[in-house]
Amino acid sequence: MDTDPVVLAPDTTVAAAVQSLLDNRLLAMPVVDAQGNYLGVFRKNLVISGVLPQVATHDDRFSQIARMIDAGLLTDTLHDVRARFDLIAQDPVGLHVDKEAPVLHPDQSLVAALFYIYRGRNFLPVVDRSNGRLLGVISAWHVLESMVTKS
């Protein structure tokens, strides 16, 4: 576990948060308030869903939209995408956190960590059950690393 992870404050702008992801080569970061309370996760998908044409993020139960996009609909220029990004760029990141993202607690087993990473998470915040503080993060890298390094 990384006990001193890079975190975002809720009043950071989306633009600054994206720059932070880029600088640290991360795809997601925990959002934590000044007291160290865990608030949620800011993920690349929250930005991408904001810059896609809204209809493409529609719950596509019958894969219809995927088929329409495959057929060539929804052509967009980088200019359009940047224009949509500009609409959210100055929002505080606190408006775009995933509050439902799975978290781990110190008393949980290794399997819980493996399970969520298997389900597609790149990292998992570890949160103190009693006071809601962020204790650190476990990333997919930690898991892979622990397998190849002999203690």
Partner 1 sequence: MTAPSFALIAGLNPVWVAVGILLLTYAAIMTERLNRAIVALLGAVIMIAAGILTQTEAVSGIDFNTIGLLTGMMVIVSISRKSGIFEYLAIWAAKLAKGSPAGILALLVLVTAVVSALLDNVTTVLLIVPVTLVICTQLKVPPYPFLLSQVLASNIGGTATLIGDPPNIIIGAQVGLSFNDFLINLAPVILVIIVVHTLAIHLIWGRALTATPEDRARIMALDERKAITDVKLLVKSLVVLAGVLVAFVGARFIGLESGTIGMAGAAMLLLLDNAGKTAEKQTESVTHVFNEVEWVTLFFFIGLFIVVKGVEHTGVLQTVATKMLEATGGKLEATGLGILWSSALLSAVVDNIPFVATMIPMIKAMAPAFGGPEGLMPLWWALSLGACLGGNGTLVGASANLTVAGIAERNGISFRFITYTKHAFPMMILHVAICHAYLMWRYL
For partner 1, the binding residues (CB under 8 A) are: 53-56, 58-60, 62-65, 67-75
Distance, in Å, from the CA atom of 31 to the CA atom of 8, rounded to the nearest integer, reads 5
| Cα 9 off chain centre by | 14
How far is the CA of 140 from the CAs of 8, 38, 119, in angstroms? 20, 20, 11
Nearest one of 100, 91, 8, 80 to 47, comparing CA atoms: 91
Instruction: State which residue, 55 or 114, has the beta carbon closest to partner 1.
Output: 55
Classify the C-alpha dihedral 31-55-80-67 as positive or negative: positive
In this complex, which beta carbon is closest to partner 1, that of residue 9 or of residue 52? 52
Q: Regarding beta strands 123-127 and 38-43, do their DSSP bridges make them parallel or antiparallel, or are they unpaired?
A: unpaired
Taking the least distance from each CB to partner 1, the nearer of 33 and 60 is: 60
CB of 60 to partner 1, least distance (A): 7
- 75 vs 109 by CB, closer to partner 1: 75
**Shortest separation between residue 42's beta carbon and partner 1, angstroms:** 22
CB of 70 to partner 1, least distance (A): 6
Q: At its nearest, how many Å lie between partner 1 and the CB of residue 77? A: 11
